[in-house]
A and B are shown apart, each in its own frame.
Chain A
């Protein structure tokens, strides 16, 4: 079982989207004025949508050390401060959301397996609902999804650090299933990453 530290900004409803299960045990860490969590007891750091990127910038050296120890990071939020090693999210509104369509890039680990791309492309027939802006990806990182203009939207980075980073351009992911409902794309992508972490015997290459 993986042990994950879930960063909480005190927003309504976060706990509904990350529920401990057979694969992951979540521990929630609330951001406070003196935010300085000990990351090393955990396998995975989860930075969900709506996080505090001022607080995360303050612990960027801790995050780098955590990843240097071969651990993993999921950040599915707009990381506007420079705390994610090797990669940077940038907001952009120069393109029309109605023109947004995602396309698959390389996917060595099968993280897109079973993922219905149209669930990210459309919500009630409207496109451009899932992600905003784009990621300036680290050279050599795997771009799993591009947008219409070939900008990185989902990135798996196994090169910037000895750890693994799964990053989205603010597109939310979740680890929750509703009884009787098939997993939607944001859950499928997240769960595939959890599966990779749980089953991989070879560390990410630094």
Chain B
């Protein structure tokens, strides 16, 4: 039974991840335009992927904050809007070729490998590329990852009751895209932290029957 609600605005990478045999029993697609309190009832965690519709998230923010107030976990990746989040995200050019051009200078310089999501990961598994930075985070937030300039990549707060973990990494989208092939490590750690269930230690596969007329919506 799914324990993680993946807020879904119809983007294919979200769909590819949530319907992959490895994850489909753990993630439930929650179509953003139908998101309400009933949709998240019984879930342990919410995941808000990169390429989400920030305007609709702003309209639906009470669902997210009520979920946190119930002591649950929310994971947010990629960009965000100050219209619903007390933090300032800023865009930056995406460098997804640093490991070819300058492998000694990754987009993340420091990582708290004591955080449950990052425990056991190598630096390479903990950073592939980033989509922008946070230039302001809540005062009581813990900084989990930062770049060489000290700008925040990953942070966490308990100020809303549960745990909100936010990052400008994009593990859920990129794992769905499958152009980076080492993301099982990060997403499996994240999935276990969110749901308490560790996915089978195998590479993500695709179920072609879930595409086209057989789409699982």
Contacts and interface: CB of A to CB of B under 8 A. Distances in A.
Interface in A1-15: 9-13
Contacts of B33: 31-33, 55
B208 A97 contact: no
Nearest to B54: A10
Nearest to B180: A97
A97 B96 CA distance: 15
Given A97-B179, A125-B100, A11 B51 contact: yes
A132 B97 contact: no
Contacts of A121: none
Nearest to B10: A52
Nearest to A127: B179
A77 B178 CA distance: 15
Interface stretch (B11-19, B37-45, B148-156, B161-169): B11-19
B9 to A, nearest CB: 6
A53 B10 contact: yes
Nearest to A54: B10
Interface string B120-152: 000000000000000000000000000000000
B10 to A, nearest CB: 3
Interface centre among B33, B100, B205, B211 (most CB of A within 10 A): B211
A89 B211 contact: yes
Interface stretch (A64-72, A78-86, A195-203): A78-86
A88 B204 CA distance: 22
Given A9-B9, A31-B10, A54-B217, A93 B178 contact: yes
A132 B181 CA distance: 13
Contacts of B96: 124
A80 B100 contact: no
Which one of A10, A13, A82 has the highest number of Cβ atoms from chain B below 10 Å of its Cβ? Answer: A10
Contact of A170 (B10, B12, B55, B213): B12
Contact of B55 (A10, A81, A91, A124): A10
Contact of B12 (A10, A13, A82, A91): A91
Contacts of A79: 12
Nearest to A35: B33
A55 to B, nearest CB: 6
B16 A91 contact: yes
A54 B206 contact: no
What 9 pairs across the A-B complex have the smallest Cβ distances?
A: A52-B10, A78-B12, A124-B97, A10-B53, A54-B10, A93-B178, A33-B33, A88-B212, A90-B211
26 contacts: A9-B11, A9-B51, A9-B53, A10-B9, A10-B53, A12-B79, A32-B33, A50-B51, A51-B10, A52-B10, A57-B215, A57-B217, A77-B12, A78-B16, A79-B12, A80-B15, A80-B210, A80-B211, A80-B215, A81-B215, A89-B12, A91-B12, A91-B178, A93-B204, A124-B96, A126-B100
Interface of B: 8-13, 15-16, 31, 33-34, 51, 53-56, 79, 91, 96-97, 100-101, 177-179, 181, 204-206, 208, 210-213, 215, 217
